[in-house]
Structure 1
């Protein structure tokens, strides 16, 4: 197998090749231009690499316009791919309006995938105003661009946190089963920002006929996660790699909903073409639903073969850690599956693939330090 899009990560390259050969309706994307915001994020970067892989394997001739803030991150993440003919990067702060002076305004854009967002819980607590502004102002700016360009379709990447604390008696939580969010809790800047951005999408769809769809994403991880990532799933994986115990700072009672990166990218590209305007779709693997505690124990016992254990170190003051409220929620993805999508990678395989990928990243970082 040729490692073209990911020369240092064979696991991720396998995933990209799989995406290119999946049931995405590529014929509708052929010869079109797709704008991807949040280009250096986990999902945004993999969408871009997957589209480049489609160009190579399926001759789709898709032009990709990528929007990012950091030239350094783009260089680190895309390297030699920056020379690809069909990939163009623009650098801007998404909170700033897109004016007639912005170079992107001269581009012809057919589709938009809007993934620019803050994902770090500690940032939510320390910079709640900025978190809200990135959600609201950033999404408003991209929706205005979508309106002006008369795009064929747009997908907004929302989050399962938009559900809030739902009714714990529900067997499955569907798109309409929204729960409670404490709007005076600073941590709610993220979840409430996502809710308002969803409302903004629905409003643009209604008032201006912008064909935007909303993807409510479960927590997504898998191949392509950097070794420097610090979210809980990455911490668990690094404990396996480094043979250190998993340390939980809560009782781990909250239920998590998860989806493997490759499955999520396929879902988003299907939604881009097949979704209904102004509607929300949950992207989650229904079988990957478990408590944080049970997931930690699964990783320690089944992924690390019992060579590490789970220990608890619960601080008296948890506010500064930025944890979301404990929830008991099992997301339904039946609406998304009705479009022809089916998640394939379960939680255990997701960890195995992520760990192999992170080991490649760790090796790369080690080699850079030596140089």
Structure 2
């Protein structure tokens, strides 16, 4: 996968922000799990770009489950001497002999359908994998670890309420779909426990739904459905009334948020990551894509379906308070419209490269 012009612009933006203390990464080694996932690949590519631009000599160890996929995803980074791959998974961690200074733990089951079809795999991957990463961090005496958590730990806040980091919710354990947010809560507690008992310098970042370049054309999430509709000039068909309201986050903004928490965050703390300016309902987002991104060429239709069978979470209202993250220097940049336009342009450029 060649880096598109959109991605290169994103890497340039990430490397140029003044709130990331890049000098802390000079001559250091970062381990990234979930390396070929959406956030992992954008993080690694951005760090390598910044390392070359700023002559930081950062080493990146990418934990991957499929070497062929890794070689494809990081086609433009393979020549970077500081990049190495470790084949394995977080549930059965391979030996890593190298020194490690920083860890970003992003490996996780992320498909809503998998939460319903494979809840045991969802839970065991999260819990066993996170313990393995924290054990590795303890043994390697790392300088900082960031665990990528989720806004889903907050459950179902009231409409209009702005959610702070202290408001984690309780869940009905008989609802199989809750395997995901409950496992995230357990992993956060494990991070806090390792910080307390073993002084592992770990922080958690609770990301809202994130998208941008790197999202595959056949991704099953709602923003990808809207993307395909815009590209194919087909009407957007909602399977719900689109009442869920939340903030979103562009991939480059998620990268700067993660690096900010990794390098500036306080140990044992959790940080919300979202762009408050993107807050809207799914229906409003669909209408924005139809009208503003597609120029009115498509429309929005509603065809109600059984959302439980689809694995969708029930209607929620998730306005995250990001003042804590802003307090350690971070700020978001990309609007929701920009996020869609850049994701779509990236897909189009990828298709052009395949044809060429």
| TM-score, structure 2 as length reference | 0.96
Alignment of 1:309-348 (within 5 A): 309-315=299-305, 317-348=306-337
> Is 2:185 aligned against 1:195?
yes
CA–CA separation in structure 2 for the residues paired with 1:336 and 1:271: 8
CA–CA separation in structure 2 for the residues paired with 1:183 and 1:132: 12
CA–CA separation in structure 2 for the residues paired with 1:329 and 1:347: 16
> Is 2:36 aligned against 1:40?
yes
**1:229 Cα deviation (Å)?**
2.1
CA-to-aligned-CA distance 1:312-349 (integer Å, 9 cap, x gap): 1212x322200012112211111000011110111111
Count of residues in Structure 1 that have an aligned counterpart in Structure 2 = 355
Alignment of 1:193-232 (within 5 A): 193-232=183-222
**Of residues 81, 89, 95 in structure 1, which corresponds to 2:85?**
89
**Of residues 7, 11, 15 in structure 2, which corresponds to 1:16?**
11
| Structure 1 unaligned regions, length at least 5 | 1-5
State whether residues 2 and 75 of structure 2, in contact with CA within 8 Å, keep that contact through their aligned partners in structure 1.
Answer: no
**Of residues 43, 47, 55 in structure 2, which corresponds to 1:59?**
55
SS at match of 2:62: strand
| Structure 2 unaligned regions, length at least 5 | none
> Is 2:297 aligned against 1:307?
yes
What residue number does 2:345 align with?
Answer: 356
TM-aligned CA distance change 1:67 to 1:77, over 3 Å: same
Alignment of 1:276-291 (within 5 A): 276-291=266-281
State whether residues 162 and 191 of structure 1, in contact with CA within 8 Å, keep that contact through their aligned partners in structure 2.
Answer: yes
What residue number does 1:25 align with?
Answer: 21
**1:169 Cα deviation (Å)?**
5.1
Alignment of 1:54-133 (within 5 A): 54-96=50-92, 98=93, 102-104=94-96, 106-133=97-124
> Is 2:144 aligned against 1:165?
no
State whether residues 164 and 321 of structure 2, in contact with CA within 8 Å, keep that contact through their aligned partners in structure 1.
Answer: yes
Of the structure 1 ranges 219-228 and 257-266, higher mean CA displacement relative to structure 2 is found in 219-228
**1:115 Cα deviation (Å)?**
0.3
CA–CA separation in structure 1 for the residues paired with 2:126 and 2:51: 31
| TM-score, structure 1 as length reference | 0.93
Runs of 4+ in 1 over 6 A off after TM superposition: none
CA-to-aligned-CA distance 1:233-289 (integer Å, 9 cap, x gap): 111011111100111111111112201111110111111011011110001001111
> Is 2:144 aligned against 1:153?
yes
Please tell me the root mean square deviation across aligned C-alpha atoms, in Å.
1.4
